[in-house]
């Protein structure tokens, strides 16, 4: 017996101002989160993004095609109530940032990493007034306490909605620096995603890629792009 799936029951999707925020209505009924909280969104752009996902549904509702709605629900139901803890979790990635761990060999990979990663580390150093310790291999390398503290303070200043997007950007890329670069549009989202994939792309070039790994990489890439879009709509 196949599982039951909710189906589209509405005809009209509309965005409405609610106080200092916005909500999305389906045939006049305001959306609520899975925890039954009002889906109050901080910007018109974000409300439009959520509304477009609901308007695009046909037949059975497909949550996997609604990343902005899922992220908004998470921001309200989960992140908002533990904002400090989520900010600390995200900032902690700076202690083991992908961009600080380099290969010792072969030379072409070393050069690729430097070309892709050094500019972002240099940007973050200027932007946040921090310094990074770069190492080779996988043994832990301590980062300056001042660096971690300054980045943690910056991350703590984000809203619950922004933190929801930043969490995905950082977790998917493995780099706090890449995540912050995405929020400040230091490069196109797809270019930043490719920066996070230098090691994987090198391995693929040497040994090829199987279908399962390619599908997983495509899913993660799309999640990164969706998070970039969500963050941009928060501002």
> What would the DSSP string read from start to end of 3-39?
PP--B---S-EEEEEETTEEEEEETTEEPB-TTS-B-
Report pLDDT for 137.
87
Closest CA to 53 of 71, 41, 65: 65
Residue ranges for the chain with pLDDT beneath 70: 1-5
- What does CATH list as the number for 1-65? 3.30.2180.10
Q: Which residues contact 70 (CB under 8 A, 6 or more apart)?
A: 63
How big is the chain by its Cα radius of gyration, in Å?
A: 20
Report pLDDT for 1.
36
Report pLDDT for 2.
46
Report pLDDT for 138.
84
Domain ranges in the chain?
1-65, 82-233
Q: Topology of 82-233 in CATH?
A: ATP12-like fold (1.10.3580)
pLDDT digits (tens, 9 = 90+) for 121-132: 999 999 999 999
CA dihedral 91, 94, 96, 102 (to 10 degrees): 150
Burial of 52 (0-12, 13-18, 19+ CB in 10 A): middle
Beta bridge partner(s), residue 24: 15
Characterize the bridge pairing of strands 13-18 and 21-26.
antiparallel
Q: Do domains 1-65 and 82-233 have the same CATH topology?
A: no
Report pLDDT for 5.
64
Token code pair at residue 210: 């199987």
């Amino acid at each position: 017996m196949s599982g039951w799936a909710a189906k589209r029951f509405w005809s009209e999707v509309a965005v409405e101002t609610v106080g200092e925020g916005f909500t999305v209505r389906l045939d006049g009924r305001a959306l609520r989160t899975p925890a039954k909280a009002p889906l109050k969104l901080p910007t018109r752009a974000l409300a439009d993004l959520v509304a477009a996902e609901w308007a695009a549904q046909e037949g059975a509702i497909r949550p996997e095609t609604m990343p902005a709605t899922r992220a908004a629900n998470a921001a309200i139901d989960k992140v908002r109530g533990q904002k400090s803890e989520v900010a600390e979790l995200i900032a902690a990635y700076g202690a083991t940032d992908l961009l600080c761990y380099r290969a010792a060999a072969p030379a072409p990979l070393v050069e690729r990493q430097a070309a892709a990663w050094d500019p972002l580390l240099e940007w973050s150093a200027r932007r946040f007034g921090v310094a990074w310790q770069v190492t080779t291999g996988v043994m832990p390398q301590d980062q300056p306490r001042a660096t971690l503290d300054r980045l943690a303070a910056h991350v703590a200043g984000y809203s619950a909605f922004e933190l929801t997007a930043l969490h995905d950007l950082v977790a998917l890329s493995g780099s706090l620096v890449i995540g912050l670069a995405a929020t400040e549009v230091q490069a196109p989202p797809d270019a930043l995603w490719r920066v996070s994939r230098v090691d994987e792309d090198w391995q693929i070039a040497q040994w090829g890629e199987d279908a399962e790994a390619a599908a997983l990489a495509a899913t993660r890439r799309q999640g990164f792009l969706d998070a970039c879009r969500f963050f941009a709509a928060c501002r």
